[in-house]
Amino acid sequence: MSLIIQDSGLFSIVQSLDKRSSPDGQEFKGACDRLAHQLANQLVGNKKDELTIEMTVKPAVIKFTEPTIIAFSGAEFTGRCNNQEVLPNRIYLFDRGDVLKFVDTPRGNRIYLAVAGGIEVEGSNILKSGDEVIMCRDYTFQHDELFNMLRNRNMVSWGVDTYSLVEIYISDLFHVVRRPDISDEVYDRLESAEFTVSKEKNRVSLYLEGKHLDTDRSKVTHPGIKGGVYIAAGEPVLALNDFDQPTTAEHIGTIPSYHMHKLSQKRRGSKVKFKVIDCDDAHANLYAQDLWVKSLFKAIDYRLSKELVKDKM
Amino acid sequence: MFFANGDHAVTYQQNEVIDPLVLKRLTNAFNTDTHQYLTEIITTENTLTFMYEPVRVMESHDTIEPSGLVVEEAERFLVEKGFLK
Residue type, A202: N
Same domain, A233 and A141: no
pLDDT at A23: 74
Same domain, A26 and A141: yes
Interchain proximity B67–A283, CB inside 8 Å:
yes
In a domain, B85, yes or no: no
In a domain, B20, yes or no: yes
**Among chain B residues, CA nearest to A291:** B55
User: Rounded to two decimals, what is the model's pTM?
Assistant: 0.94
Same domain, A212 and A229: yes
Same domain, A27 and A117: yes
Which A residues in the span 235-294 are in contact with B, Cβ-Cβ below 8 Å?
Answer: 244, 246, 253-258, 279-280, 282-284, 286-287, 290
pLDDT at A278: 97
Same domain, A134 and A177: no
In a domain, A109, yes or no: yes
Same domain, A154 and A233: no
What's the average model confidence in pLDDT over B18-24? Answer: 97
Q: What is the CATH number of the domain that holds A264?
A: 2.40.100.10
In a domain, B45, yes or no: yes
Same domain, A120 and A226: no
| 8 Å CB contact between A176 and A254 | yes
Contacts of B1 in chain A (CB under 8 A): 180-181
Q: Other CB atoms closer than 10 Å to residue A51's CB: what's the count? A: 25
Same domain, A50 and A128: yes
Cα–Cα distance between B52 and B60 in angstroms, integer?
A: 13
pLDDT at A166: 85
Contacts of A223 in chain B (CB under 8 A): 5, 11, 42-44, 47, 49
Identify the CA nearest to A3 among candidates A154, A127, A111: A127
In a domain, A154, yes or no: yes
**Among chain A residues, CA nearest to B49:** A223
Residue A155 phi, psi (nearest 5): -145, 155
Domain that residue B51 falls in? 2-80
| 8 Å CB contact between A222 and A231 | no
List Cβ neighbours of B7 (8 Å cut-off, separation of 6 or more): A177, A254, A256, A257, A258, A279, A282, A283, A286, B54
Q: Which residues of A296-305 are buried (b: 16+ CB within 10 A; e: fewer)?
A: bbeebeeebe
Q: What is the CATH number of the domain that holds B42?
A: 3.30.1360.40
What does the angle CA A184 – CA A187 – CA A193 come to, to the nearest 5 degrees? 140
Domain that residue A247 falls in? 171-277
- CA distances to A32, A73, A110, A202 from A82, rounded to whole Å, are 30, 20, 23, 32
How many domains does chain B contain in total? Answer: 1
Same domain, A270 and A307: no
Identify the CA nearest to A156 among candidates A224, A219, A93, A206: A93
How many domains does chain A contain in total? Answer: 2
In a domain, A210, yes or no: yes
- A290: nearest CB among B42, B44, B55: B55
| 8 Å CB contact between A282 and A177 | yes
**Among chain B residues, CA nearest to A258:** B7
| Average pLDDT along chain A, 313 residues, taken 10 residues at a time | 93 95 85 97 96 96 97 94 94 97 88 97 94 96 93 89 85 96 95 96 95 86 97 95 94 97 95 97 96 94 86 72
Cα–Cα distance between A303 and A158 in angstroms, integer?
A: 9
pLDDT at A24: 77
Residue type, A144: D
Interchain proximity B64–A227, CB inside 8 Å:
no
Same domain, A45 and A122: yes
pLDDT at A106: 77
Same domain, A103 and A140: yes
pLDDT at A104: 80
**pLDDT 10s digits, B40-84:** 999 999 999 999 999 999 999 999 899 999 999 999 999 999 999
Same domain, A96 and A19: yes
